[in-house]
Structure 1
């Protein structure tokens, strides 16, 4: 199943944490014209490098679906950024 929600939390020692919830599907729908353009570029790249277009798109879809449950923590100096993909 594809990811449904992206949660971002930014923590700084002097401020309250900032939390942002981003629903994946509405964002994908808003950026769908760019996604269509990216798909066309990917098809051309597959043809140029002689890679099966269907297998490349299936591998990309499987990678996208595997992102569910990913947790990324970035610590830079005194700030922390936490990204959770659900």
Structure 2
């Protein structure tokens, strides 16, 4: 199953929290015209690197299916970021 929602949270030094909820499907629909450009570029990249296009698509699909449940936490100084994929 592909991810449905990406949550990006930021904790500022003054203890205020901000969260941004990004639904994946509407963003994917808006960016779908770029997919028409990405497919030929991906095929050329597969031919140049001698990677099978079917294997590359299969690997990309497996990566997308493994994303739900991923949590990325980043702290730099007094600012903390949390990225959660559901």
- Please say whether Structure 1 and Structure 2 have the same fold, judged by a TM-score greater than 0.5: yes
Counterparts of 1:11 and 1:81 in 2: how far apart (Å)?
6
Counterparts of 2:35 and 2:28 in 1: how far apart (Å)?
8
Q: Where in structure 2 are the equivalents of 1:21-32 lying within 5 Å? A: 21-32=21-32
Quote how far apart the aligned CAs of 1:50 are. 2.0
Alignment of 1:12 with 2:17, yes or no, is no
Say how many residue pairs are matched: 86
Quote how far apart the aligned CAs of 1:16 are. 1.9
TM-score, structure 1 normalization: 0.92
5+ long unaligned stretches in structure 2: none
- After the TM superposition, list the runs of 4 or more consecutive aligned residues in structure 1 that deviate by more than 3 angstroms: none
Quote how far apart the aligned CAs of 1:15 are. 4.8
Quote how far apart the aligned CAs of 1:49 are. 2.0
Partner of 1:29, secondary structure, is: helix
Partner of 1:31, secondary structure, is: helix
TM-score, structure 2 normalization: 0.92
5+ long unaligned stretches in structure 1: none
User: What residue in structure 2 maps to residue 57 of structure 1?
Assistant: 57
